[in-house]
Amino acid sequence: MQIFQIRKWILESPPIEWAILQIRELLIGALRQGPIPQHVAFVMDGNRRFAKSHRMETVEGHNLGFEALAKVLEVCYKSGVKVVTVYAFSIENFKRSKYEVDGLMDMAKVKLAQLLQHGDLLDRYGVRIRVLGQRELIKPDLLADIDRAAKMTSRNGDAILNVCFPYTSHDEITTAIRNTVVDYSKQLPVQQRPFSESHIKHTIRSRHLSVAASRIRDRSKSPSSREESDMEDSSSSSTTLHPDSPPADPTVLEKEHEDSEEEFRSKYPDPESITSEILNDHMYTAGLPPLELLVRTSGVERLSDFMLWQCHEATDIVFLKCLWPEFDLWQFLPVLLEWQWRRKKDAERERGALSKARKMSNLDKAIFSSIRGVPPSNRRSQQSE
């Protein structure tokens, strides 16, 4: 504890603080010369362990964790990162005791207030706060504070801070699928098409039925046709008396079934058109850049149900042994440099593959042109030799 306080006192002394600030600006400026991830996510883990290891209160550990978050956010936005997503509270935490859940909720309220205290940072970089998760699980007073924070930063649009609270990826994916099903259960807007195929079929069928009905009425009125229509009357009466009997012509029923299916498909969206892009549009992160870098502190190497859908083949996942209050530019700088190095290697590999493909294409063209330039008789003589 004393070593930590001495280290903090030395780093906060004016000469050291000024020197560190200058070095920090130079390093951030150097980072901006290369590619920068547009979407970065953090699992802020280790606040309690940091407080326990330094013999301080748990609240103080969370306070230091938010100070670290403010510093990291400034590094991200100053470097050119557009979206930062942080894992603040999991839905699984509600399985704990009521006393602990209430304490976590109160802590979240304090954290949100601390975040709003850095309003100059949010306004300087045009950061808009978005809270992702199940709003109905949040207490009304805390929900009011969240809405107030979102309203205060709603005019900002240069960068985004996503606070996942309360959140799990399973819940996000389930909600996205449910909303997709709801959208595909709504009827499409009616389009008046007088010359559509279904409209023509319906008109022809109605005309045939009206003609058949008129003929039956004419036969029933003429005495000479009564005896001839006895069999028809008996069959029609049997059909009327026994409505559950199968139709006389199965092809008619099949045709009507196909027409009803076609009419249903014309009214509702086709479920076969649901793709991963459509599901992605129903996620909490819809419309945001793809996740390119995910960092978790405290040495735990698992995602803990965070950003499972957003992680893809090009996402770099980094697990660091340092605790979250210890995470700063000096811990984050090697991660960004390694990310830039990998992107440069990937770009060089793509350029090499493209150059090789062009060389092979030019070689094929040269061989083909050389073959076309030799007469057939010469080619036969060369083959016989």
The catalytic site residues sit at: 45, 93
**What is the biggest distance separating any 2 CA atoms in the chain, rounded to whole angstroms?**
121
Residue type for position 274? I
Residues composing the chain: 385
- CA dist 117 and 127 (Å) reads 14
Tokens 């062009």 -> residue: 358
Q: Supply the DSSP string of 114-136, one letter for each residue.
A: HHHHTHHHHHHTTEEEEEES-GG
- CA dist 324 and 70 (Å) reads 12
Query: Which tokens in the block code for residue 383?
Result: 């083959």
- CA dist 367 and 232 (Å) reads 82
Closest Cα to residue 297, out of 316, 332, 322, 333? 322
Closest Cα to residue 172, out of 81, 282, 278, 77? 282
| DSSP helix, strand, coil percent of the chain (3-state; round to 5) | 65, 10, 30
